[in-house]
Amino acid sequence: MNEIVPGHILKRHQDNILIKKKYDPDTLKNLKKSIKKLLDEKNGVLISHYYVDEEIQKLTEETNGCVSDSLQMAKFGQTTDANLLVVSGVKFMGETSKILSPEKTVLMPTLEATCSLDLGCPIEDFKDFCDQYPDREIVVYANTSAEVKALADWVVTSSIALEVVEYLDSQNKKIIWAPDKHLGKYIQTKTNADMVLWDSSCVVHDEFKFQGLQKMKALHPDAGVLVHPESPMDVINLADAVGSTSQIIKAAKELNYEKFIVATDKGIFYQLQKENPNKEFFEAPTAGNGAQCKSCSQCPWMGLNSLENLERTLIDMKNLIEVPNQIALEAQRSLNRMTSF
């Protein structure tokens, strides 16, 4: 795995993958009961990404929270009546919720969960990069720090990245794109827009491999291929549908295949299977498997969220997300453009 993942997180990730911890039925029942009670008492709501633990996704659904892609997570926080948002995902998702709903309390089950794209785009280096291109619009992916968002003109998620760049290109704007080089390349290829790309990638999607996927397609010639655009371009070129997590789920429903090979984090399989009980889903091959497990199609940071730390956070009201005022105000401008696009 990319050396950007700290050793202790990597170790915990590999333990999780290898041991595949399951909750015993009594523990699960008690944890869910306790979390439901805490949410009621505190007027809280769960907001969870499709990549987190299946049991967190189920509990979020049972409590009328929001399980979604990163764009809908951001929007849901603004519209819910709850004044406590409990965000299961990675740090940028909690920060985005807080910036868009500053009057609400935002908690996360763990503050250790970050993202290789966020880590790969430190504000000082990014600022120096942007200073080289003063005539360009700065478009950043949501998977960035609040500081990077504050510097940007636009924030996008993969659900709307293509459309936003198409729009800017139609206005003859030249673009700085950061941080995901694969998503940037994909958008550049689709739109022909004038873009300079920051060089970073997602540790999960970067591992999907063209040759492995080609072999797998040969084994399952009747399967459709669904790919998240954080994957390398040669993998994207093999896809029947390319899109954000919610767009992948939609494509699995709408495309006329009974089987799919899926190149994204395997947390999404819970929703894919739930929405399509009669269809079959296979994980796309990654660079390392088994003992050489790299990401193994599972984000090491998303995997840090559990029902246990979710309950603990609610009991102690800890892991509060705070964003300094000036940065929040500046980031709000580019985030508002995202939510209202």
- Least separation in angstroms between CB 47 and ligand 13P: 12
168 binds, among ligand SF4, ligand 13P, none (CB under 5 to 8 A by kind): none
Give, as ranges, the residues between 140 and 159 that touch ligand SF4 (CB under 6 A): 143
Angle at 195 between CA 194 and CA 199, to 5 degrees: 160
Query: Which residues, 220 to 259, sit near ligand 13P by CB under 6 A?
Result: 230, 244-245
| Distance in angstroms (rounded) separating the CA atoms of residues 159 and 175 | 18
CA distances from 67 to 51, 71, 233, 273, 312 (A): 10, 11, 28, 15, 21
Sketch the per residue contact string, 247 through 276, with ligand SF4: x for CB under 6 A, - otherwise: ------------------x-----------
CB-side exposure of 172: number of CA atoms within 13 Å?
A: 0
Hey, how many other C-beta atoms are within 10 angstroms of the C-beta on 56? 26
From the list ligand SF4, ligand 13P, none, pick the one residue 301 interacts with, judged by a Cβ distance below 5 to 8 Å according to partner type: ligand SF4
- The DSSP code sequence of 135-163 is TSEEEEESSS-HHHHHH-SEEE-TTTHHH
Nearest residue (CB) to ligand SF4, 169 versus 295:
295
To the nearest whole angstrom, how small is the minimum distance from the Cβ of residue 245 to ligand 13P?
4
**What does 116 interact with, of ligand 13P, ligand SF4, none (CB < 5 to 8 A by kind)?**
ligand SF4
Closer residue to ligand SF4 (CB): 70 or 80: 70
DSSP secondary structure of 293-317: -SSTTS-TTGGG--HHHHHHHHHHT
- Secondary structure string (H, E, C) spanning 118-130: HHCCCHHHHHHHH
Q: Kindly list the residues in this chain that would bind ligand SF4 in the complex (CB under 6 A).
A: 90, 115-117, 143, 202-204, 230, 265, 299, 301-302
List of residues contacting ligand 13P (CB under 6 A) = 69-71, 143, 157-159, 202, 230, 244-245
